[in-house]
Amino acid sequence: MNAVIHDFTTEVPEWRPRVKPIDLAEATPEQHDALKVTPSNTKVSDYVLVLANDVETLKVRTPLFNAIMYNKGGLSRAEREIGATAASVVNRCVYCAAVHSSRYNQLAKDETLMQRIFADGEEADLDERASAIFKFATKLSKAPSEADADDMQRLRDIGMSEEEILDLILSTALFGWANRLMHVLGDPVAKAD
């Protein structure tokens, strides 16, 4: 068995489920239909095969996920990844944090922001805009949410539009969802050689 990874990393690990993925050979027509609308059409991941156990939710979740992370307009895709990563750090979802920090690095062509977040967590020393975004997303991800009017004011003070703020809320909240599946239903493990 490959070792479970406990530290945050930008190298995407593999994911080992704690519950049984569905068997594609025995999938119902509804499960086939839901699996088709996932981004990966060459090989269906164990994660998606696990989620196919609750096919009605999976069917609506995939297009919702894509809309929140990739919709046109509003917040930049890179900054949506900050929201996703902040939630994943709060919820300690090492797998989600790896996927979305590395995506941020590609989009922003910068590795220092995520290095600082992984090294110092909520205390990370970031520039004014990134700090306002990261702090708001971190506090919104707590259970219960700790985001307050001052955090919202800071987003407006750095010049974010209402559309951008809404996209930040959506991408952060979405990872409150994703983390509770990825981190709860499986383990991030070192890639097989």
Partner 1 sequence: MSTDVVTRLASVSDDGSKVAAAVALRADVFAMTQAAHDAALKPNDTGGFTHVERAALATRISKLNRCAELAEHYAALLATYDADEDTLAIADPAFDGDAWSRINAVLTFTDLVAANPKATQPDDVASLQAAGVSDADIVRLAELNAFLAYQIRLLAGLKLMRGAA
Residues that bind partner 1 (CB under 8 A): 18-20, 50-51, 53-57, 59-61, 63-64, 67-68, 71, 73-74, 90-93, 140-141, 143-145, 147-149, 151-152, 161-163, 165-167, 169-170, 172-174, 176-181, 183-185, 187
Q: Indicate the residue among 105 and 169 with the shorter CB distance to partner 1.
A: 169
Residue 74 beta carbon to partner 1: minimum distance, rounded to whole angstroms: 7
Q: How far is the CB of 147 from partner 1 (least distance, A)?
A: 6
Smallest gap from Cβ 166 to partner 1, in A, equals 4
Closer residue to partner 1, CB minimum distance, 63 or 119: 63
| Comparison of 9 and 106: residue with beta carbon closer to partner 1 | 9
Reduced to 3 states (helix: H, G, I; strand: E, B; else coil), residue 118 is helix
User: Please, are residues 104 and 114 in contact by the beta-carbon 8 Å criterion?
Assistant: yes
Please report how close the Cβ of residue 68 comes to partner 1 at its closest, in angstroms.
6
The encoded tokens of residue 187 equal 């383990």
Q: How far is the CB of 69 from partner 1 (least distance, A)?
A: 11
Q: Are 191 and 6 in contact (CB under 8 A)?
A: no
Nearer to partner 1, 71 or 112 (CB): 71
Give the three-class secondary structure for 16. Answer: strand
CB 9 within 8 A of CB 98: yes
Q: Hunting for tokens 């407006």 — which residue is that? A: 156
Compare residues 24 and 110 and give the one whose CB is closer to partner 1: 24
Question: Which amino acid would we find at residue 79?
Answer: E
Handedness of CA 87, 176, 93, 83 (dihedral sign): negative
Distance between CA atoms of residues 137 and 158, nearest Å? 15
